Amino acid sequence: MNGVVVIDKPQGLTAHDVVNRVRRILGQRSVGHLGTLDPSATGVLPIVTGSLTRLAQFYTHSEKVYEGVIRFGFATDTYDAEGEATTPPCAVCLDIDQLRALAADFRGVIEQVPPPFSAKKIAGVRAYKLARKKQEVTLKPVKVEIKELEILEVNDDRARFRARVGAGTYMRSLAHDLGQRWGCGAHLASLRRTAVAEFVIQDAHTLDELERAIRQGSAEDVFVHPRKLLLQFPSVTATDENLALIRAGRAVNLPELSRAPLVKVFHGQRELIAIASRVAGTLFHPGIVFSR
């Protein structure tokens, strides 16, 4: 089975756990995901299967949208609710206008230090492995982009937010940094991802729903229609003559798409057979062939 399905990841599972579950449901090994998600977080986790696992290279820089809750009053070592407190708790009185003004300082391209409990490597070792052993973790700041950050409401010591961010942004670090700037410490209390690139929560399915669809033979009801993938690339349906050439990895003329640098090539309505790149003029080369 070659396709993409958007899973609504439940709390408590890692992205790898979800991949393993999908492997069992589909009965195939070739399964991957488009962007990891912390075990405590829920929401959009696009899963790629079969030959379409090769699509992952086009989603490494995808923007993401989150909704969540930041708890002010103390920081934790993991920067979320799963960790141990690293600052003494203190009473907090949040002012939504002041908090919105503070959030505005974080919009744009900023430097952010990843959490100590993260997959970043230090001398070849994952940071979280060092942190679990109580060893010192010193990570360098990286540039990330926070395109939108909106404080939706405050309630006692908690602030609900929505954020649209570029690839590599840690929402746990954002919560931690906001707490430092507020002067009382803070951590990420909950997080839900509502979008990754073109994949949105409204199109997501639970693992149970996927399993039921496969059992009933209605996989097309839950898998993303292939023509909705990589919306930034135009689509073309190959002629029978071009189809054979493309599957053989040979260049073809696609005059109606001569201005596009990359195009999706289909056989019929649903079978994505290749991503082709423009060589010159109207000549396109199938750099990635999914179906031969």
From residue 134, give the alpha-carbon distance in Å to each of 53, 101, 208. Answer: 37, 36, 38
**Contact at 8 Å (CB) between 46 and 196?**
yes
The secondary structure of residue 239, as a DSSP letter, is P
Specify which residues 280 forms β-bridges with.
283
Question: In terms of CATH architecture, what is 3-61+198-224?
Answer: 2-Layer Sandwich (3.30)
Distances (CA, A) of 261 to 33, 78, 141, 264, 287: 26, 42, 34, 11, 12
Say what the pLDDT of residue 8 is.
98
Where are the domain boundaries for CATH 3.30.2350.10 in the chain? 3-61+198-224, 64-188
pLDDT at 265: 93
- Catalogue the active-site residues: 38
Cβ 78 vs Cβ 115: under 8 Å: yes
Please state, as a whole number, how many other Cβ atoms lie within 10 Å of the Cβ of residue 133: 9
DSSP 10: P
**Is domain 230-289 given the CATH code 2.30.130.10 in the classification?**
yes
Q: What is the DSSP letter of 156?
A: T
Q: Which residue in the block uniquely carries the two structure tokens 């999914």?
A: 290
| CATH 2.30.130.10 location in the chain | 230-289
The contacts of residue 243 (CB under 8 Å, 6+ apart) are: 267, 273
pTM of the model as a whole: 0.91
| Tens-binned pLDDT, residue by residue, of the chain (292 aa) | 899 999 999 999 999 999 999 999 999 999 999 988 988 999 999 999 999 999 999 999 999 999 999 999 999 989 999 889 999 999 998 999 999 999 999 999 999 998 886 666 665 767 656 667 666 666 788 999 999 999 999 999 999 999 999 999 999 999 999 999 999 999 999 999 999 999 999 999 999 999 999 999 999 999 999 999 999 999 989 888 889 999 999 999 887 766 789 999 999 889 999 999 999 888 899 999 997 6
Q: State the DSSP code for 58.
A: G
Q: How far is residue 62's CA from residue 36's CA, in Å, rounded to a whole number?
A: 12
Topology of the domain comprising 64-188: Pseudouridine synthase (3.30.2350)
